[in-house]
Amino acid sequence: MPTKIISYNVNGIRAAMTKDLCGWLEAANPDVFCLQEIKATPDQVDVAAFEKLGYQLFWNPAEKKGYSGTAIFTKHKPKHVEIGCGIPIYDFEGRVIRADYEDFSVMNVYMPSGSSGEERQDFKFKWLADFYVYIQNLIKTIPNLIIVGDYNICHRAIDIHNPKSNAQTSGFLPEEREWMEKFFTNGFIDTFRHFNTEPHNYTWWSYRAGARGKNLGWRIDYQAATMPMKERLKRALILPDAKHSDHCPTLLEIN
């Protein structure tokens, strides 16, 4: 039976719920729903609205109120849920949560942005180095792994509407793109590009200058699968019509 995974940076779950996130979720009906940038703790949210749809809810909010955080809502009961990655500076910000099922695992990540300045860009580079080591170790024990979420990096020029003018912009820096290249050549498949090599497919748009209406976007949200999952990949899509956030969801279906 296929499993449908949807990943979505909701840019604040409470704000997204005022735009009928629950109605959209009921229609989309994923088996596993991964949220980034929830910006809330469970006690601040109408959790019953999601439970009514048949989801078990697992949260990893940031310690800082109204900031960052990840969650996995799942219709299939996981055999284990891992909150965090065991590195305190990232776990403090609620950046990683993983659900292990019988024959695969889904890790949901909200990678840091470096756009607010040098200090956060340095934090992002440190994260990239640490996360890479963490993942390479993890896939030795969990070979069937899907890492979904907001990576905050465009991999290639095809993934950004204006590569030339953004060549020195956080999210498209040469070092960040090199990291993505290393990641996708050392055990991971970019599932969207596995099925779709067309340009103009984006997952995030600036709120400025009507960027979304003109489709002037960036593809910074991914669902990456390990090589042993390759034969199980059924389809991968971007869902730009969902408008609860400055991001849109990504979808992956596996057999």
**What does the pLDDT look like over 85-104, one tens digit per residue?**
999 999 999 999 999 999 99
Between CA 65 and CA 2 the distance in angstroms is 37
Note whether 170 and 121 are within 8 A (CB). yes
Between CA 14 and CA 17 the distance in angstroms is 5
Q: What is the pLDDT of residue 67?
A: 97
Q: What is the pLDDT of residue 143?
A: 98
- Which residues have a catalytic role annotated? 150
- 58-79 average pLDDT score: 98
**What does the pLDDT look like over 43-63, one tens digit per residue?**
999 999 999 999 999 999 999
Note whether 148 and 107 are within 8 A (CB). yes
**pTM of whole model > 0.95?**
yes
- Buried b / exposed e over 201-240, threshold 16 CB at 10 Å, is bbbbbeeeeebbeeebbbbbbbbbbbeebeebbeebbbeb
pLDDT band at 205, cuts 50/70/90? very high
Note whether 188 and 139 are within 8 A (CB). no
pLDDT band at 226, cuts 50/70/90? very high
Q: Tell me: pLDDT of 1 over 80.
A: no
Q: Tell me: pLDDT of 40 over 80.
A: yes
**What does the pLDDT look like over 109-142, one tens digit per residue?**
999 999 999 999 999 999 999 999 999 999 999 9
Tokens 């596993």 label which residue? 32
Q: Could you tell me which of 197, 206, 201 has the C-alpha nearest to residue 165?
A: 206
Q: What is the pLDDT of residue 241?
A: 98
DSSP symbol at 64: S
**What does the pLDDT look like over 134-163, one tens digit per residue?**
999 999 999 999 999 999 999 999 999 999
Sheet holding 70-74, edge to edge: 56-60, 70-74, 32-36, 3-9, 250-254, 233-238
Q: What is the pLDDT of residue 176?
A: 98
Domain map of the chain by residue range?
3-254
- 57-71 average pLDDT score: 98
Between CA 103 and CA 215 the distance in angstroms is 38
Class of domain 3-254: alpha beta
